[in-house]
Structure 1
Amino acid sequence: MTLTFEADPAVDQALTDGILALWADVTNAGGAVGFVPPVTRDDIRPALRRHLTGMAQGTHRLLVGRDEDGAIAATAVFAFNGHRLMTHWVWLYTVMVHPKHQGKGYGRDLMAAVEHTARTAPGFEAVEAIRLGVRGGTGVDSFYAKAGYKEVGRVPGGIRVAPGDDRDDITMLLPLT
């Protein structure tokens, strides 16, 4: 079974609750998506609110993947660059696949859907590349490399997970042209 992907889904309570549940589950399973476990949905709510506000303002776009039951099983958030000299690339945030679905190839499917969306969806015509930040020490940079992303920058110790646990902040890029 594969995921069904949708760009720019209607924002309602079910979507919000589904993303909050996914984000908390991914974080609590050790995923590097902006938080350190343990977290609750309430801990994550302000970060999701910022994404949703960006969507309402047209600066962010959401891609969701739903499993065979219709539950939100994967997400990625595109953030358009507001700097007038950098509008030719977008940031990618909150890339997640639910832990119960990991190991099924859904991460590859999500990254293929991300690339497809950036290449074909209305509003992405000027986008020539996707950038994303990766927390070092997780091994996820090799996953993104397999999806075609190249490391283009690294700040040693740029992410402090906990006192005495600093990780590299890795920037990766996928050219679309």
Structure 2
Amino acid sequence: MPLTFTFDPVVTPDLRDGILDLWTDVTNAGGAVGFVPPVTREDVRPGLVRQLVSMAEERSRLLVGHDEEGRVAATAFLTFNTHHLMTHWLWLYTVMVHPRHQGKGYGRDLLAAAEESARTLDGIEAIRLTCRGGLGLERFYASCGYKEVGRVPDAIRVAPGDDRDDVVMLLPLT
């Protein structure tokens, strides 16, 4: 059954906790979403608080997907540029699908919903994201229409002796 996506949902305590659980579960399953496993909800909470503050300051918007049971199953944050020469594109951050739903095509659905949401925003001509090299993520994003436009070798230190490339991907909307 497909996910139900909502752009700019009202952030309730249940939604906040659902995103926190999702972020924790994705990280602990090996997802490249800003942390290295193992993590607890308390490890992840400051990252979520930063995202919620960004939303309250209207610097970013939330896209959330719920599964058939009403649980938070996917998220992405669409974040505006503050530099006046770069306001025509936005960043896509913290792209996540819950591990119990991976392999069902929900990642593609999430990216399609993010593209659709970005197209509703005035003046946005492209979506940019970064991903951690070494996991095949750039191939997945490329299969969804994103193009690799840059790579910083060894920019992400996952652990001592385990450095990964920071891969920059772009999806033009025009």
State the AA in 2 paired with 1:40.
T
Deviation at residue 125 of structure 1 after TM alignment: 1.1
Does residue 176 of the first structure (1) align with residue 137 of the second (2)?
A: no
Secondary structure of the corresponding residue to residue 110 of structure 1: helix
Within a 5 Å distance, the mapping from 1:153-164 to structure 2 comes to 153-164=150-161
Aligned counterpart, 2:143: 146
Q: Give the TM-score taking structure 2 as reference length.
A: 0.99
Aligned counterpart, 1:69: 69
Count of aligned pairs between the two proteins: 174
For 1:33-87, what per-residue CA distance to the aligned partner results, in whole angstroms no more than 9, with x for missing partners? Answer: 0000000110010000011001001001000000001100000001100000000
For 1:138-175, what per-residue CA distance to the aligned partner results, in whole angstroms no more than 9, with x for missing partners? Answer: 11111100110000000000000000000000000000
Give the whole-Å Cα distance in 2 for the aligned partners of 1:39 and 1:19: 14
Aligned counterpart, 2:93: 93
Give the whole-Å Cα distance in 1 for the aligned partners of 2:79 and 2:106: 22
Aligned counterpart, 2:6: 6
Secondary structure of the corresponding residue to residue 30 of structure 1: coil
Secondary structure of the corresponding residue to residue 53 of structure 2: helix
Q: Give the TM-score taking structure 1 as reference length.
A: 0.97
Give the whole-Å Cα distance in 1 for the aligned partners of 2:48 and 2:160: 26
Within a 5 Å distance, the mapping from 1:10-159 to structure 2 comes to 10-120=10-120, 124-159=121-156
State the AA in 1 paired with 2:155.
G
Give the whole-Å Cα distance in 2 for the aligned partners of 1:62 and 1:50: 13
RMSD of aligned residue pairs (Cα, Å) = 0.5
State the AA in 2 paired with 1:174.
L
- Percent identity over the alignment is 70
Identify unmatched segments of 5+ residues in structure 2.
none
Give the whole-Å Cα distance in 1 for the aligned partners of 2:151 and 2:42: 31
Deviation at residue 12 of structure 1 after TM alignment: 1.3
For 1:106-125, what per-residue CA distance to the aligned partner results, in whole angstroms no more than 9, with x for missing partners? Answer: 011101100110112xxx11
Task: Please list every run of at least 4 consecutive aligned residues from structure 1 whose deviation after the TM superposition is greater than 3 angstroms.
Answer: none
